[in-house]
Amino acid sequence: MLRDFGEKLTYLRNLEARKDEVRTSIENQGKLTEEIVIALENAKTLSEVEDIYRPYKQKKKTRATIAKAKGLEPLAEIILEQKETKPIEEIALQYVTKPEEIDENTPKEKIVESVEDAIQGAKDIIAEMISDNPEYRKQIKRRCYRDGFIVTKAINPEEKTAYNMYYEFNEKVNRIPSHRILAINRGEKEEALKVKLDKNEEDILSYIKQDTIKGKTQFTEILEDTILDSWQRLIEPSIDREIRSDLTEKADAQAIKVFGKNAKPLLLAAPLKGYTVMGFDPAYRTGCKIAVIDETGKLLATTTVYPTEPQNDVEGAKKELINLIKKYKVGVIAIGNGTASRESESFVSNMIKEIDEDVHYAIVSEAGASVYSASKLATEEYPDINVSLRGAISIARRLQDPLAELVKIDPKAIGVGQYQHDVDQKKLTESLTGVVEDAVNEVGVDVNTATPSLLSYVSGINKTIANNIVKYRDENGKLKERKELLKVDKLGKVAYEQCAGFIRIPGGKNPLENTAVHPESYEIAENLLKKIGYKKEDLLDKAKLKEIKTNLASIKIPETAQELSVGEMTLKDIIDELSKPGRDPRDEMPKQILRADVLKFEDLIEGMTLTGTVRNVTDFGAFVDIGVKHDGLVHISNLSNSFVKNPADVVSVGDIVKVKVIGIDNERQKVQLSMKDA
């Protein structure tokens, strides 16, 4: 909500700044009127401001500016006024350059050679005046949005592409959803589609004529020709660009919003605690990369095995991995979902059946793993580990602690959302940085184990300070209390006030520092505990903690808030934190599905009910991992028995859902799913 307000405030500030610039520019030209001032004050969008400024903007060389340089503006005004009774040819003759007025120094662009040239020049000036009229543009755009259609056709109809549904397609401008706009834009960019904006041209021309032509005169035909020229040559191309740009901007904003909504639950996915994990990065020719990490994320072992084509060394791979599983007591195998994933899954499933150990596996998204593996950060973390093996480490750690691992990756590379590579990348980065910050701050960060990547997303801490915290920790050992942060280089009082409530110190001097209670509220928290007969140290005693939780639940908020001189909302937050010290909100999120057997595409039957994990949510539905090679699609119409306006209202990334198979496309290996009555 605050970020939305921030974006709106930035837009309004930019709007006011642009109004001031336009007002000053027009005033400097000596053309500012009360009417323009009022129009600028009433403008609600940057587009409206630009339409007001259009007639006064310094233009490049146009047919109208050339005609004005020839002195034909007065003739244009005569035609527009439509009052002169003398024949137009006679009037225009006065503007034709006489032979005696021409010498070798006369610029060619100043010469009007004939009556026809004079009339044409006047028409060019009028055409530009009509095009620049802000009220005309406003009304035309309104008509285009109301009545217009986006129409697409195939450039090569015989060629099969991802854009087949748009080969003969049209949809009203005011109804086309964002994901279709972005798909059409991409199809146009890839030269698969031709796109145009169909509008009611007759209605638009009639509107301009009614406002411009004053009855039947000798000027009527000239003005009708001029209006048509203005529309076809100047207004229509410009309006088309503006509307397409507006639609794209709104679609970008929606795509960024969808991406943010998907990214947050992915970042806040439940960590898999207490397991030694084997990361399995599948491949064919180069072999499957293996990394074993302990329950704290420490790297224990790495290797490469070749159970897939072309080597097919299944027995050798089994022997090596079973040895690692037994040696390090591996509980879970995290398999990346990229190339050779399903073959690797089949291999792992068969291997698990042959051993007595309690081992399961999970399929993990490896989006961005290769980007991370080759990054400067990965090189700093694992300088002695081969680039190809770092991907397996990342896959294992994503299952163990998704947030800590995913913050190391460029947000747009984490593989959720729709058309994220097509949208404004600066805005996407800004938005997703905010989402990551929200996720990190919601969970809190253990200052004694967090990487610089994780710390840098905490409110008040930038990359430099994050590195300085780790450096201080390395030189001085674990931090015992939050205020020790003030000793960190470049971390001042303001930064401390911002970050303190998000920093956690498990096992530190003060039990309150393993909660989100801010240092400014320590006294209130201690007084609250004292009121119910306890002290802060009792938060460490499990038996007493149960009693504290029970007593806090019976607190009367209004009276206690008044007694402790604190706001009711703040008091509720403190009670919540004292009831669950050291809690991780991610523990309440859906847990990763752990499997022991593989499901093949060929095993699927229509009507089958399965359990799956939501991997992505778009405007048109949700993609669910049911254990076969490709995620199945639950179309928006099949998400619920009730009407669904937005899929995000029903499901989020990471949700565990029951689905029914309703369609199988064997050729394209695609599955249609339904959550209705599943």
CA distances from 465 to 141, 459, 508 (A): 50, 11, 21
Place of tokens 């806090």: 552
Residue 194 pLDDT exceeds 90: yes
Q: Is the peptide bond before 310 cis (omega within 30 degrees of 0)?
A: yes
Lowest mean pLDDT across 76-85, 237-246, 650-659: 650-659
Identify whether 242 is part of a domain: no
Identify whether 7 is part of a domain: yes
Question: How many domains does one find in the chain?
Answer: 6
Specify whether 43 is located in the same domain as 108: no
Identify whether 356 is part of a domain: yes
β-sheet with 149-154: strand ranges across? 168-172, 149-154, 193-198
Q: Are 479 and 485 in contact (CB under 8 A)?
A: yes
Last residue of a domain, one of 132, 157, 182: 132
Residue 286 pLDDT exceeds 70: yes
Residue 369 pLDDT exceeds 70: yes
Specify whether 287 is located in the same domain as 305: yes
Last residue of a domain, one of 587, 614, 638: 587
Identify whether 432 is part of a domain: no
DSSP structure class, residue 595 = B
Specify whether 42 is located in the same domain as 118: no
CATH number at residue 660: 2.40.50.140
Residue 357 pLDDT exceeds 90: no
Strands 503-504 and 609-618 come out as unpaired
Identify whether 270 is part of a domain: no
Specify whether 516 is located in the same domain as 500: yes
Q: Cα 382 to the chain's mean position, in Å?
A: 30
* Mean pLDDT score, 553-582: 89
Phi, psi of 301 (to 5 degrees): -160, 155
Query: Residue 147 has what pLDDT?
Result: 93
Specify whether 162 is located in the same domain as 110: no
Specify whether 69 is located in the same domain as 54: no
Residue 582 pLDDT exceeds 80: no
Which of residues 216 and 102 earns the better pLDDT score? 216
> pLDDT tens across 609-662, in order?
888 888 888 888 989 888 777 788 999 999 988 888 888 888 888 788 888 889
Last residue of a domain, one of 17, 33, 58: 58
Q: Are 675 and 655 in contact (CB under 8 A)?
A: no
* Mean pLDDT score, 65-81: 94
- What single letter denotes the amino acid at residue 270? A
pLDDT bin (cut points 50, 70, 90) of residue 599 is low
Specify whether 287 is located in the same domain as 374: yes
Q: Report d(CA 151, CA 525) in Å as an integer.
A: 63
Identify whether 434 is part of a domain: no
Specify whether 538 is located in the same domain as 664: no
* Mean pLDDT score, 424-442: 82
- What single letter denotes the amino acid at residue 447? V
Residue 33 pLDDT exceeds 60: yes
Specify whether 390 is located in the same domain as 297: yes
Specify whether 516 is located in the same domain as 465: yes
Helix H segments across 82-170? 88-93, 115-132, 134-147
By CB atoms closer than 10 A (0-12, 13-18, 19+), residue 230 is buried
Residue 168 pLDDT exceeds 90: yes
Identify whether 268 is part of a domain: no
* Mean pLDDT score, 483-496: 94
Q: Which domain holds residue 88?
A: 63-132
Buried (b) or exposed (e) across 377-408, using 16+ Cβ within 10 A?
A: ebeebbeebeebbbbbbbbbbbbbbbbbbbbb
Specify whether 564 is located in the same domain as 499: yes
Q: Report d(CA 239, CA 341) in Å as an integer.
A: 49
pLDDT bin (cut points 50, 70, 90) of residue 292 is very high
CATH number at residue 502: 1.10.150.310
CATH number at residue 7: 1.10.10.650
- Return mean pLDDT, the chain: 88
- What single letter denotes the amino acid at residue 462? N
Identify whether 25 is part of a domain: yes
Q: Report d(CA 148, CA 15) in Å as an integer.
A: 28
CA distances from 472 to 408, 466, 468, 533, 598 (A): 21, 10, 6, 38, 47
Q: What percent of the chain has pLDDT over 70?
A: 97
Specify whether 628 is located in the same domain as 543: no
What is the number of helices (H) and of strands (E) in the chain?
Answer: 26, 15
